[in-house]
Structure 1
């Protein structure tokens, strides 16, 4: 008789091995990022197979719909404004990346969700459990970011986890298992990003499609949220339904 512990170990090994299937269509991005400080070993990457959490009861809005009270921009001069219940971020040429950041900085375990729409294509994302470095008058945002890169690139890594100002991608969407997530973003429409964080475990969804499953090492146990407008020549992003449910 084959013991249950052997069967369980075999199943675990099969699951781990299956996670390491790099997608040949991602080769140019693999070449670019595989040697970065944070680049994960594909064979050790976890796969998000969980259904998107229910987004009904227990959520609190993070914006009052009228102004940006409780938030402040950090890092650059890109513009943010509240218009008709939405937050609109606009790139300012020559400005560094700018993060509209929650003044509250002790979010730990939560489900965060929002909808985003690109009025003008440009890199963006949502910082979570974010941190702040200060040197003189300069403030630098760093920590995990749920990438929302828009449509100008062909890699489709929206929903991946980027290590902003701390060594590159924690969780790139470069595996065969990420094919559906890479196609989940809809151009010209509202797109829903959901982030679930419990302890060191982080999962993301794009329009309900599972994307990332990353485990922090405890470095980013708590922090603030930040909406990014990336540096560049142009870009304009709208957010609505920005909500959080603390766990």
Structure 2
């Protein structure tokens, strides 16, 4: 199922309210409603002030992203607050378990960590999870489109963020939005963002409001998410209890080639593929099609399915994830099937071939160009996440 001119690594293939009175007693305010005691501004120049019992951040032209961060760090917690953002042309967010690099951004300072998004733009990703200044989008709301309608423009919206163990869950006005399992960041500060304006300087003076900020750090009990909500599990080669309950299984165990054989072969290729450090690695070839180890295919066959995988490219690499491969052709080269393209668009010539970009990263090869607006491809040499969903009809 994979071919490559240069090395590519693959891991983790897997197929298919409001605060209650009881919780209020356990929660503590992070904001006293009068002062910014316990908070400090870093990274940008946008001002924060207290007005009518609210923290108000004001957008400032020429400033990068600004953050009002807690002086204290938190590990496991449930955070609830109300937020309102003026306009529909920019975004904001609430940082969790985050960190500050004072030397980052050429000395201007950099905040990084997972953020619950406030996004009133037409894509409507409010409640999604973005890894600020690091891995970018972890959970765009295309993974849970039912939650897009939860946000109310120009009104206060109730946010709930649950960080317990490796799991982060979010809710917008009581609607389950995002569910990420991640091994990074066991603790860190909480922060309120005012986004930089870039070339949208006409938005200077627009405000973002935060109030009723409460946190619970003891006697925590994870809240169940509906089974219908997709889980982004970034723990290598591991399934969560929810994924198992939903019928997912691992296609790669991180240690062996169990379940895989070479295309048009009876065994796994003797060369061209290496399993190490929990990764399935395609080794460099001479550039000819399937001239090294060739494609590999699953022993099991699938019809309707939900397939997730992580992949990492070296510079100039070309590969792919194929499906509906029958091997009926008896082809001597690559296996034939539909293909999720895995490619270095900048350095491999295949990106400029085909039609209208339908050979670029994440495209349905030679058939349909990927919409990169639905997710931010990460740089070559870092892990990206792909997903293919095939419905019965």
TM-score, normalised via structure 1 length = 0.74
State the aligned residue count: 197
Q: What CA RMSD, in Å, does the superposition of the two structures yield over aligned residues? A: 2.3
1:52 and 1:210 in contact (8 A); partners too = no
- Counterpart of 1:126? 94
- Counterpart of 1:26? none
2:43 and 2:110 in contact (8 A); partners too = yes
User: Which of 185, 188, 193 in structure 2 is aligned with 1:220?
Assistant: 185
- Counterpart of 1:32? none
The 5 A counterparts of 1:148-163 are 148-149=118-119, 151=120, 153-163=121-131
User: Which of 80, 92, 103 in structure 2 is aligned with 1:113?
Assistant: 80
Mapped partners of 1:75, 1:166: distance in 2: 15
SS of the equivalent of 2:24 reads coil
Mapped partners of 1:44, 1:61: distance in 2: 42
- Counterpart of 1:144? 114
2:87 and 2:154 in contact (8 A); partners too = no
Higher relative CO (CA 8 A, sep ≥ 6), structure 1 or 2?
Answer: 1
- Counterpart of 1:69? 37
- How far did residue 118 of structure 1 move? 2.1
SS of the equivalent of 1:242 reads strand
- Counterpart of 1:240? 211
Unaligned stretches of 5+ in structure 1?
Answer: 1-39, 46-50
- Counterpart of 2:52? 84
- How far did residue 214 of structure 1 move? 0.2
Mapped partners of 2:24, 2:162: distance in 1: 14
Unaligned stretches of 5+ in structure 2?
Answer: 1-10, 219-393
SS of the equivalent of 1:56 reads helix
Cα 1:179–1:104 shift into 2, 3 Å: same
- How far did residue 139 of structure 1 move? 2.1
1:52 and 1:205 in contact (8 A); partners too = no
1:104 and 1:224 in contact (8 A); partners too = yes
- How far did residue 56 of structure 1 move? 2.6
- How far did residue 189 of structure 1 move? 1.6
Which segment drifts farther, 222-231 or 116-125? 116-125
